[in-house]
Amino acid sequence: MGIEGYKGVFVFVEQRDCHIQNVSLELIGKGKELANKRNTDVTAVIIGKGVNSLTDTLSHYGADNILVIDNDKLDKYMTEPYTKALFEVVEAKKPEIMLFGATSIGRDLAPRVSARVHTGLTADCTGLEIDEETGNLLMTRPAFGGNIMATIICKEFRPQMATVRPGVMQKLEEDKNKKANIEKFDVNFNDADFNVEILEEVVETKKKIKIEDAKILVSAGRGFGSKENISIADDLAKALGIAEVSGSRAAVDSGWLEKDRQVGQTGKTVRPNLYFALGISGAIQHLAGMEESDLIIAVNKNPDAPMFETADLGIVGDLNKVVPELTKLIEAEKS
């Protein structure tokens, strides 16, 4: 069969302990847009144990079809059986496009599937469009350390596969009336597919919300001056209750914050309801990761800091004074 026989946009839905990861819903939203342009539909592929219960959510967020691979042995993610399952899906359904979240699971799984079905994979995309002339998928990602954006196409093989960074695409509004076609998909597993056994799972005890999922981010930049001073941002986040602390690359490179807290071109893309940019100058690489936030409040002692051009609300002042004052006001409001 030639590549013209391949149809439909497929999204691998990542779930952990039956919680669908946000990025998968974002990809269903983007997948729907791509599918419309190709006059086709979007299919969510969900793999795991007890995942039948998740089909309503996938329908409500825009999946037209859902392929369910529900198997007791697939309780936890394992590379080999998941690869085999998706390989068989590709063989049977011949999707034109297949999308994965650029998460640790997506980054493990997608390359193996692409190698097994003999097609290309563009990793870590930040943009996906359809080329109106050729119908090919245009997959855009930062290259050379983020200095240029490269747009990659996969002309000769199908499916066109991409992993996409969490937080970049937007999920659709939930529509509880939507119903997808649900199909149970059987995979020909044998014992050799389960040659790895999970003996123990050690869950990180620090309960941190991923910055991509936070509704409010208190983001710290070089203006904090020291690791100890980050406590000012921690206190504001605590007062706000549902906020997480993130930061610029300067703050991460200085060792004040963990790498997974970095916002920007080489960090995470975030889109919270509220983003505090504290002591962050507003370099283009930082803006690339947060400018889509709903409301941006900047505190900077330099009135000419570029961040003020992007911010909705700007406070010119020393963050050491402004931020604790703000924290106090919020605490007072609560009591």
Residue ranges for the known binding site for FAD are 222, 248-249, 262-266, 279-286, 300
Residue 83 near residue 115 (C-beta atoms within 8 A): no
End-to-end CA distance of the chain: 68
Contact 266, 286 (CB under 8 A): no
Nearer to ligand FAD, 52 or 285 (CB): 285
Q: In whole angstroms, how close is the CB of 220 to ligand FAD at the nearest point? A: 8
Minimum Å gap between C-beta 316 and ligand FAD is 9
Cβ–Cβ < 8 Å for 281, 298: no
Beta carbon of residue 218, minimum distance to ligand FAD (angstroms, whole number): 13
CA pair distance 8, 96, nearest whole angstrom: 5
Close Cβ partners of 41 (under 8 Å, ≥ 6 residues apart): 8, 9, 35, 64, 65
Is residue 314 a contact point for ligand FAD (CB under 6 A)?
Answer: no
| Least distance from ligand FAD to the Cβ atom of residue 23, Å | 18
Establish if 325 lies at the interface with ligand FAD (CB under 6 A).
no
One residue of 22, 231, 285, 310 binding ligand FAD per CB under 6 A: 285
Q: Examine residue 54 and tell whether it contacts ligand FAD (CB under 6 A).
A: no
Query: 247 - beta bridge partners?
Result: 220, 262
141 touches ligand FAD by CB under 6 A: no
Is 233 an interacting residue with respect to ligand FAD (CB under 6 A)? no
CB under 6 A: which stretch of 41-49, 113-121, 234-242, 275-283 binds ligand FAD?
A: 275-283
Among 104, 170, 181, 302, interactor with ligand FAD by CB under 6 A:
302
CA–centroid distance for 33 within its chain: 17
Return the residues of window 243-272 that contact ligand FAD according to CB under 6 A: 248-251, 262-267
Query: E strands, the chain, where?
Result: 9-13, 15-16, 19-20, 42-48, 65-70, 97-101, 121-125, 127-130, 137-143, 148-152, 160-164, 181-184, 216-220, 243-247, 274-278, 295-300, 313-316
Beta strands at 42-48 and 127-130: parallel, antiparallel or unpaired: unpaired
Least distance from ligand FAD to the Cβ atom of residue 60, Å:
33
CA–CA separation, 231 and 227 (whole Å): 8
CB 266, CB 242: distance < 8 Å: no
219 scored as a contact of ligand FAD (CB under 6 A): no
Stretch that binds ligand FAD, among 9-17, 91-99, 133-141, 296-304 (CB under 6 A): 296-304
For residue 315, state whether it binds ligand FAD (rule: CB under 6 A): no
Least Å distance, CB 110 to ligand FAD, is: 22
Q: Does 327 bind ligand FAD (CB under 6 A)?
A: no
107 to each of 14, 110, 159, how far by Cα in Å? 12, 6, 17
Number of residues that bind ligand FAD (CB under 6 A): 31
Cβ of residue 219: shortest distance to ligand FAD, in angstroms?
9
Q: Smallest Cα–Cα separation from 11: which of 247, 134, 33?
A: 33
Binding site for ligand FAD (CB under 6 A): 145-147, 221-223, 248-251, 262-267, 279-281, 283, 285-286, 289, 299-302, 305, 318-320
